């Protein structure tokens, strides 16, 4: 199971609108979980064996962000594909392979 999520506080109090400290707290929870993960400019993606495992990490990451403001926004997208592991990398590799084939033709 893959879950991509974005979590941030509303009303961080930072004059420039930065939420980097809050996001860092969430990403630390994810990295400490031991699950395979990747963070980019917009989302953190986690790969885990089942709903309970992955959603526990998302919940704890959200709770970490709650310490930074009175309100939290959470956006979540899931790819539920039982029996498949390593898809956090495999999905990207399949796209790269398809791109390479299209460049060769």
Q: Is 76 exposed, middle or buried (0-12, 13-18, 19+ CB in 10 A)?
A: middle
Would you state the pLDDT for residue 73?
95
Class of domain 2-104: alpha beta
Would you state the pLDDT for residue 17?
65
Kindly report, residue by residue over 36-69, the tens digit of the pLDDT: 999 999 999 999 999 999 999 999 999 999 999 8
Kindly list the domain boundaries of the chain, sorted by start residue. 2-104
Q: How far apart are CA 7 and CA 76, in angstroms?
A: 9
3-state secondary structure of 66: helix
Q: How far apart are CA 105 and CA 91, in angstroms?
A: 22
Average pLDDT, the chain: 93
Q: How confident is the model at residue 13 (pLDDT cuts 50, 70, 90)?
A: low
């Amino acid at each position: 199971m893959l879950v991509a999520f974005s979590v941030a506080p509303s009303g961080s109090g930072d004059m420039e609108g930065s939420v980097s400290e809050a996001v860092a707290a969430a990403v630390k929870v994810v990295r400490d979980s031991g699950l395979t993960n990747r963070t980019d400019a917009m989302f953190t993606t986690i790969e885990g064996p089942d709903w309970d495992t992955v959603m526990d990490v998302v919940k704890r990451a959200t709770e970490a962000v709650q310490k930074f403001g009175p309100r939290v926004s959470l956006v979540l997208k899931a790819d539920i594909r039982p029996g498949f592991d390593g898809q956090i990398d495999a999905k990207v590799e399949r796209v790269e392979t398809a791109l390479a084939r299209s460049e060769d033709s």
